[in-house]
Amino acid sequence: MWWPLMQTAITESDKKSLIDFISSSDRYTCGAKVKQFEDAWSTWLGCKHSVYVTSGSTANLLLLASVKELYNIPNGSKVLVPACTWVTNVSPVFQVGLEPVFCDVDLKRYSFDLDNLPDEDIRIVFVTHLLGLNAPVETLKEKYPNAIFLEDICESHGVVGPDGIKRGANSLGSTFSFYYGHHMTTIEGGIISTNDSNLYELMLLKRSHGMARHLLPENYEKTIAKYPDINPQFLFLTDGYNFRNTELNAVLGLEQLKRLDDSIEIRRRNFDCFITHLDPDIFYIPYNDPGNSSFAFPFICRRHEDVKKLRDIFNELGVEHRPIVSGNLLLHPFLNTWKDTVNVPNATVLNNNGVYIGNNQFITEDMLVKVFNTIKDKW
């Protein structure tokens, strides 16, 4: 495969750091290295607290469950979600007893279609910055001034808002993924960032079974004193999960984080080149926001019949490609009862007319030029 979707960003130096840690440590479960990585990530992002977990998907579930509990949000309350996003932006809504309200996306940012926002009592807006594209959070907040805003930035590390601040730095809760093919990797892993100390503490508890031993130090003694008949090491204050990640993954994260800014910059340069060559007569042009932090190169054909032609060109060149995330989620069997609740023509365009190919720090301008020259020659 000449151009795979994902390439390993794990270096020999990363491997050596892992070997050195294994050789010198006798603790590999969640411990000091995890906390060190959480603190380093918070510093990089510009927020107060972060909680390292097993994936971006578990990050979404833990965040939503914790927000629901902390803010006493009733079952059945409505959560606005885009019709085209990753499945675990929607699954946690069901899993914690809330109700999704689906909204179509636009064809420039792949975020909520601002011309078709529902006039409903939305309690939570779950924004996805899809494929590294900057979602219009500020406009959404004007539409839903009383809603809680959560941000999935799993594919968009380093995306920057119009105020010049990284997305997630000022969010109540934001999630990131460190899966193999993302801007940086811990092989598997995800993280939640927040500036709310109460939410942070609750997520620490819920990450590890709801156990009191994970309370913040200033709250530990006064809390366990209320339950003198229960061993404080095995005192469960709330329901929870086991979403703890390991020291090994955190060691890798600390090494990867050192190179994240360089990776983002290369991806941005690549995306600029991609936009320059994309033919607007054949493809919809995504918005090249200066704050974008590109994850992939999306090709959204204006005509459905052109998709097969494009796939054939990619296959001939050895360029791996895939659908636009989950496509139109309302077409999937697990959402069958929701498919007729809203009209989502743009999500259907992404589903039927779109593919993407990978963008990462190993892609060069020459590679992009070769792809576009081949498209031009064979179109």
Q: Tell me the domain boundaries of the chain.
A: 12-103+113-257, 260-378
Contact 357, 319 (CB under 8 A): yes
- CATH no., domain 12-103+113-257: 3.40.640.10
The structural architecture, per CATH, of the domain 260-378 is Alpha-Beta Complex (3.90)
| Interval 11-32 mean pLDDT | 97
Averaged over 322-336, what is the pLDDT?
A: 95
Determine the pLDDT at residue 374. 97
Question: Comparing 12-103+113-257 with 260-378, is the CATH topology the same?
Answer: no
Q: Which residue has the tokens 């064979």?
A: 378
pLDDT at residue 339, rounded to an integer = 83
Q: CA 47, CA 18: separation in Å to the nearest integer?
A: 27
Q: What is the mean pLDDT of residues 165-170?
A: 97
Cβ(146)–Cβ(99) below 8 Å: no
Pairing mode, if any, of strands 173-177 and 148-152?
parallel
DSSP string, 172-219: SEEEEE--TTSSS--SS-EEEEES-HHHHHHHHHHHBTTBGGGS-HHH
Sequence-distant (6+) residues with CB within 8 A of 285 are: 108, 275, 278
* Residue 33 confidence (pLDDT): 98
In the numeric block, the tokens 């997630």 are attached to: 168
Look at residue 145 and tell me whether its pLDDT is greater than 90.
yes
Rounded average pLDDT over 147-176: 97
Question: Is residue 141's pLDDT more than 90?
Answer: yes
Tens-place pLDDT, residues 33-86: 999 999 999 999 999 999 999 999 999 999 999 999 999 999 999 999 999 999
Is residue 321 a contact partner of residue 5, using CB atoms and an 8 Å limit?
Answer: yes
Please check whether residue 157 is in contact with residue 183, taking contact to mean a CB–CB distance below 8 angstroms.
yes
Reduced to 3 states, what is the DSSP secondary structure of residue 211? strand
pLDDT tops 90 at residue 268: yes
Average pLDDT in the chain: 97
- Per-residue pLDDT reduced to its tens digit, 198-244: 999 999 999 999 999 999 999 999 999 999 999 999 999 999 999 99
pLDDT confidence band for 340 (50 / 70 / 90): confident
Which DSSP string do the residues of 273-306 spell out, in sequence order?
HHHHH--TTTEEPPP--TT----EEEEEESSTTH
Query: Residue 283: pLDDT above 90?
Result: yes
pLDDT at 341 over 90: no
Q: Give me the phi and psi of 96, to 5 degrees please.
A: -100, 10
Tell me what the mean pLDDT of segment 132-160 comes to. 98
CA 130, 134, 139, 141 torsion-angle sign: positive
pLDDT the model gives residue 189: 98
Length of the chain: 379
Mean pLDDT for the stretch of residues 74-103: 97
CA dist list (Å): 71 to 124, 166, 198, 216: 11, 25, 10, 19
| Cα angle, residue 172 at apex, residues 127 and 150 outer, rounded to 5° | 15
pTM of the entire predicted model: 0.97
CB atoms within 10 A of CB 35: 14
Instruction: Give the distance from CA 153 to its chain's centroid.
Output: 4
- Would you tell me how many other CB atoms lie within 10 Å of the CB of residue 220? 14
Residue with tokens 């156990």: 211
